[in-house]
Amino acid sequence: MHAAQLRSQVKRLIVAELNLKGRDPETIEDDAPLFGEGLRLDSLDALQLAVAVEEQLGVRLPDGDEARSVFRSVRAIADYVERARRA
């Protein structure tokens, strides 16, 4: 899968799984922070998103500090998924 397609898939996953109704997935910037500024997600959103990524994208996500870097942005999630699929 092309990197841009994977980022688009991650955006759609975020909107669908976190019930961000009325939000167009394509308006989410690839490098915008998902927590704090940006989408303002919280720890419950992170857990829900982690489960969805693992189930729908077929990769196992890391725990702890490494997980924080994976969930930094849409691009970070997509890059991690791409690396994990190649491994």
Q: What is the pLDDT along the chain (87 residues), one digit of tens a residue?
A: 689 999 999 999 999 999 998 899 999 999 999 998 888 999 999 999 999 999 999 999 998 888 899 999 999 999 999 999 998
pTM: predicted TM-score of the whole model, two decimal places = 0.92
State the total domains in the chain: 1
Q: Which domain holds residue 20?
A: 3-86
CATH assignment at residue 51: 1.10.1200.10
C-alpha 36/C-alpha 73 separation (Å) is 11
Helix ranges restricted to H, the chain: 3-17, 43-57, 64-70, 74-86
Residues 6+ apart with CB under 8 A from 20: 14, 39
Instruction: Give the DSSP letter of residue 39.
Output: T
